[in-house]
Chain A
Amino acid sequence: MPIEVIFFIEVLAGGLLAGVMYSLVALGFVLIYKASGVFNFAQGAMVFFAALTFVSLLEMQWNFWLALLVTLAVMVVLGLVTERVVLRPLINQAPITLFMATIGLTFVLEGLSQLVWGSQPHGLELGIPDVPMEWLSQRWNMNISQFDLFAAGVAGVLVAVLAVFFQKTRIGRALRAVADDHQAALAVGIPLQHIWAIVWGVAGFVALVAGLIWGVRNGVQFALTFVALKALPVLLIGGFESIPGAILGGLIIGATEKVAEVYFGPMVGGGIESWFAYVVALLFLLVRPEGLFGEKHIDRV
């Protein structure tokens, strides 16, 4: 194969795999939105907090699995506290109000993370090296990282599990009911507080996974909170309520962003990855305001 094609495939693969990582973060947003109608801007801070907690425990020489479990427990507790202190008083307020409350939550989490664990960056190792897959590099002269593929695999499994959970189980149904209409869900006897606790717990788990993956990639440092910002264009394209949409949106954003960065970036001075994803999402929205799988809103007068 000619070298340009190989290079393009490498770039594309890199983009798709980066997209998968975006999807991991977006998944957390979708979960919470699907189940409580809240757009949780604090998801990025949650990713950061989870990763930082885990890494700090590891550095205190804790056992890997113990640290993982404890971090997960912490995230669940965080979810419960958030639900009790922030969401419950704001039940049935306008979505914008809840959104702004999560912006407040973001700042609280950011401050808390650094207050408790300090603000130095940490490295993270999960045992899977970030080296090209030998099979691909020897056979076809292509460099695609093992770690990226591992991340993609993890994301795939997570998505499958969550999709089944929402569609097939009783709790999943209850979650969808709650997202649709809080009052109605209460009226049919769905225990709202328990449901939200579960959801935020699961979202916390997803945040932990995302935090670990990103932490290996970029190190666990404050900049990790900005991955949330990267996930937003993914949500715009995939719709806020769709798990498959988060994956598809992630792939689209990741691929287009990488390709644009490599092929068009040098023409305009580089650095376009700070805004390119957003502009793509914006243009997409102008064509389909509710995203690929989002639900069309019909205003009844």
Chain B
Amino acid sequence: MILSVENVSLAFGGVKALSEVSFDVREHEIRAIIGPNGAGKSSMLNVINGVYHPQQGKIRFEKFEFSDMDPHRAASLGIARTFQNIALFKGMTVLDNLMTGRNLRMRCNFLQQALWLGPAKREELQNRRAVEEIIDFLEIQHIRKTPVGRLPYGLQKRVELGRALAAEPKMLLLDEPMAGMNLEEKQDMCRFVLDVNDQYGTTLVLIEHDMGVVMDISDRVVVLDYGRKIADGTPEEVRSNQKVIDAYLGVAH
């Protein structure tokens, strides 16, 4: 059990985004969160990551228990994530974006960096080497010096994944990593996601709308609707669950 969400409720003013949601994530597994639009999936990731603070409930990550996380601390604990609307640094190149993912591993202070003497130079090159491995892995060598703002959507998503991977996280939160992609791009992304899980053993929590993808790659699935959990289990169990079918078909309740 690497992550455990306990009774989390989140509200914005009068709007209840999440109501008493509880589920857990096992280490090394691929957990999908699915549900109709507005079900609270992104909010759930934002709570885990500390961008939103729930009014009620706790998150347990490894040995730590918190209800009031902040994103910076989440990053230092080993949680990385990508965003639905791509949160890349548009003014920087692909390489620089990926390098920002390594910032928690860079120990040299600014004076050393300004002088570019031994330690700073060594550290930069070391981290460059690590980032180049990810560039190879994601097959983005040809665009490493391109400013990110100029890349097509699909490649930007890949770069964002790269930045998250650069941090060598224990747990990766992916918010619709395949949104807006064509079939070929989706297949590539699936391959990367599975490889990350295989090779690095990273636990993955992903939000995804494409049912085919969810059924294929996830180990277990959580289904949210109107901020509540309505199903939790393997893809097969969830697929045949009547409540899930009703939610997606929009049956009144």
Contact = CB atoms under 8 A, between A and B. Distances in A.
Contacts of B85: 301
Interface of B: 42, 46, 51, 83-85, 87
Nearest to B175: A301
A301 B84 CA distance: 8
A93 to B, nearest CB: 14
A139 to B, nearest CB: 52
B186 to A, nearest CB: 23
Contacts of B46: 301
Chain A contact residues: helix, strand, loop or mixed: loop
Nearest to B83: A301
Interface string A270-301: 00000000000000000000000000000001
B128 to A, nearest CB: 28
Nearest to A298: B12
A301 B85 CA distance: 7
A289 to B, nearest CB: 18
7 contacts: A301-B42, A301-B46, A301-B51, A301-B83, A301-B84, A301-B85, A301-B87
A100 B138 CA distance: 40
A301 B50 CA distance: 12
A301 B51 CA distance: 9
Q: When A and B form their complex, which 7 residue pairs have the shortest distance between CB atoms, in order from nearest?
A: A301-B83, A301-B51, A301-B87, A301-B46, A301-B85, A301-B42, A301-B84
Contacts of A301: 42, 46, 51, 83-85, 87
Nearest to B85: A301
Interface string A148-166: 0000000000000000000
Nearest to B12: A298
Nearest to B51: A301
A297 to B, nearest CB: 14
A142 B51 CA distance: 57
A301 B207 CA distance: 14
A17 B147 CA distance: 53
A301 B46 CA distance: 8
